[in-house]
Amino acid sequence: MALPFVWLLLFFVVPFIIVLKISFSDIDLAIPPYKPLLEWAAKHTLTIKLNFDNYAFLFTDSLYLHAFVNSVKVAFISTVFCLALGYPMAYGIARARANVRNVLLLLVILPFWTSLLLRVYAWIGLMKANGVINNVLLSLGLIHEPLTMLYTPFAMYVGIVYSYLPFLILPLYSNLEKMDWQLLEAAQDLGCRPWQAFYKITLPLSRNGILAGSMLVFIPATGEFVIPALLGGPNALMIGRVLWDEFFANRAWPVASAVAILMLILLVPFMMWYQSVQARESAGAR
């Protein structure tokens, strides 16, 4: 068991310590483009230069704050939409007959196995000015000039909900699958209306599934890069994209590291929440 442990320690935990370190160092016009944190000063004493400039910079330029707030907003709204569409789907799959259920599950899993990049690319073809949606609507006479959809916030939401929907459905399904449906019959025998029974029994019992699925959407969507880069247009400020540009376009490694650290501070509580939900869920299963 030591091998995976050591591997993750070396390639998953140690890197974050280095990111933390570099977020405190100066930008340098060298390769690699940052200055060392520890330096031997002239009197042969080791000095540590902690530099908060990168963080100060992030807080003074409103672009970064705006990107953070916008990412959380986009991720949250996308999660709500995923839930609104995904919950009925997961519920339907869980209550379907066994052979229908397997086919439906396969249909939900299949897109998840196909390249995200290619599936996001498909939306460019659907949503651009002379794309499929506009051409269909124009030929039906429903609109008279093409709608602007691509490179708008709308396109970005569609892309995120589309890409992350299976991540929400699958944990929710495996939670609902374990449900004792006789509880609903009992509630109805006692005079509960179907919607009331759903609200009072199904919804509370599927709480862990809802939380796990939502977290699997919300956390990665906050740091999403590909979807805003391809569908969101130049003004789609998402923090994952800011980090990417700081790193690749500006070669500002320390600033990119500071962005990563702030993202982690924001997301780690949600990750811990996810983990405790998962632990409760698997404890309940046994």
Q: Which of residues 175-234 bind other proteins (CB under 8 A)?
A: 194-195, 198, 215-216, 219-220, 222-226, 229-230
Output the CA–CA distances (angstroms, integers) from residue 30 to 36, 166, 236, in the order listed.
11, 44, 31
Q: Which is closer to other proteins, CB of 43 or CB of 262?
A: 262
* Minimum separation from the CB atom of position 264 to other proteins (A): 7
CB 240 within 8 A of CB 225: yes
> Of the two residues 43 and 239, which places its CB atom closer to other proteins in the complex?
239
| 122 contacts other proteins (rule: CB under 8 A) | yes
193 residue type, one letter: R
Cα–Cα distance list, 72 to 44, 75, 239 (Å): 47, 5, 9
In degrees rounded to 5, what are phi and psi of residue 131? -85, -175
81 scored as a contact of other proteins (CB under 8 A): no
Selected binder of other proteins within 24, 68, 91, 151 (CB under 8 A): 91
The binding track of 5-34 with respect to other proteins, each residue x by CB under 8 A or -, is: x-xxx-xxxxxx-xx--x---------x--
Query: Residue 43 or 248: which CB sits closer to other proteins?
Result: 248
Residues 237 to 266: which contact other proteins by CB under 8 A?
240, 243-244, 247-248, 253, 256-257, 260, 263-264
Write the single-letter amino acid at 128.
Answer: K
Q: Which two tokens stand for residue 143?
A: 């609109």
Q: Which stretch binds other proteins (CB under 8 A): 45-53, 58-66, 129-137, 140-148?
A: 129-137
284 binds other proteins (CB under 8 A): no
Residue 218 CB neighbour total at 10 angstroms: 21
- Residue 286 CB burial class (10 angstroms; 0-12, 13-18, ≥19): exposed
Binding to other proteins (CB under 8 A) within 133-162 occurs at: 135, 162
- Find the shortest distance in angstroms from Cβ 180 to other proteins: 15
With 0-12 / 13-18 / 19 or more C-beta atoms within 10 angstroms meaning exposed / middle / buried, residue 71 is: buried
